[in-house]
Amino acid sequence: MAIHLPYGGSSAHRTIGCPGWLKKSENLPPRPAGAAAIEGSMHHQVMEHAIRATLTPEDFIGMVYAEPGTDFTRIYEASDVDLTNIAFHATHRLLDDLDIDIIEVEPFVQLVPGVAGGSIDLLGLSSDETTLLIADYKFGSAPVSVEGSPNLALYAISARHDSFTSDLFDKVERIVFAVIQPRVKGVVTLWETNTVFLELFETRFRAAMDRDYLSPGSHCQWCPAAPFCDTKRASVMAANLLGVKDQDQLNAAAAMVEEVETWVKAVKEEIYLQMTRGVPVKGWKVVQKRPTTKWTDEAGARAFLKSKRIAAKSITKPAATLTPKQVAEVLRKRGHAYDLSNFIVSESSGTTIATLDDPRDAVIVGDVQGELRDMMK
């Protein structure tokens, strides 16, 4: 099971940008991982096993991935293999290109024991011992920057200090950061640096760990304290008060849009989580999501409409029947009012939050983690 230190790779960017985030996050309950994060963790696990055991992703079809700290499981299926294979083959090409001879898979390294460090997806050293590789897998669709990556830099300085890996740096002249992203064009992005960069980064990072001031910015995106942070809220309010009177003010407001939207999403997720734990939040309630209509007997619906002389091509699109709502609209435009209720069902896909003036009745939620994963998609 992975060991999570207070200061890890995933929070390194946040630590540099807002040293006080950790203190602000103390005593906050952990939030369940979203569906995308769980899927990414599963692919990570397959990559770890495949490279460590000199196997291929296909060898792990049927493996059951268990999300740590929860009872959630996910089976690695044949349909998952293509994505993992992109990362798998890209990794081996990278190892060949850099002439990597020594490989450590998921080594746990620490800059400050029990405080800062983490597990590196892949650590490698070239046959001449002058090139060190720090590689990280990202299975999301959003491109991740590798240049000067605080995430990989923390792993590098941790590996340089940890007794388990420190000897790998004895002859190193260049350090290669690699982000392997199978859903992103190009898949692999690289950035080369040296030990001078690592020394400068280490000075900045150690200084950040000794400070506790708050400074909002893009690094707030995954911060557990963001929904509760007065400093962040003040920043959002300031953005809301920007008067868009000229081009400069418009540019300033535009630069804040994504950051504000991300913060609002985090606040809504936290409201939902707290309310499902029985904590009332003024002005909000948990409700069923608005129902959607879907086919229960698509073939039967096609046959019924065919009997009414409705041409199949008018209710289909390539490789699929139109949705019930789309078919109903087609029929309406043609002046037909056929009853399709025997072939459809209208149901909610789960729960969400709404303000008290929403006409839907409040409900009691059972599967908190599952519902929150759906909200975070």
**pLDDT > 70? residue 1:** no
Weakest mean pLDDT among 60-69, 298-307, 357-366: 357-366
pLDDT tens-digit series, residues 2-45: 678 999 999 999 999 999 999 998 888 777 777 788 899 999 99
Task: Check pLDDT > 70 for residue 238.
Answer: no
- Counting residues of the chain whose pLDDT is more than 90, the rounded percentage is 49
d(CA 138, CA 134): 13
Architecture of the CATH domain 9-209: Alpha-Beta Complex (3.90)
Mean pLDDT of 174-203: 96
Check: CB of residue 46 under 8 Å from CB of residue 75: no
Q: Residue 73: enclosing H or E segment and its boundaries? A: strand 73-75
State the helix-helix crossing angle for 35-53 and 368-375, rounded to 10 degrees. 90
Give domain limits for the chain: 9-209, 218-280, 285-375
Mean pLDDT of 286-293: 86
Give the tens place of pLDDT for each residue, 129-176: 999 999 999 999 989 999 999 999 999 999 999 999 999 999 999 999
Residue 371 pLDDT exceeds 60? no
pTM: 0.69
Q: Decide if 304 contacts 340 (C-beta within 8 A).
A: yes
For residue 303 the two structure tokens come to: 């046959």
Mean pLDDT of the chain: 87
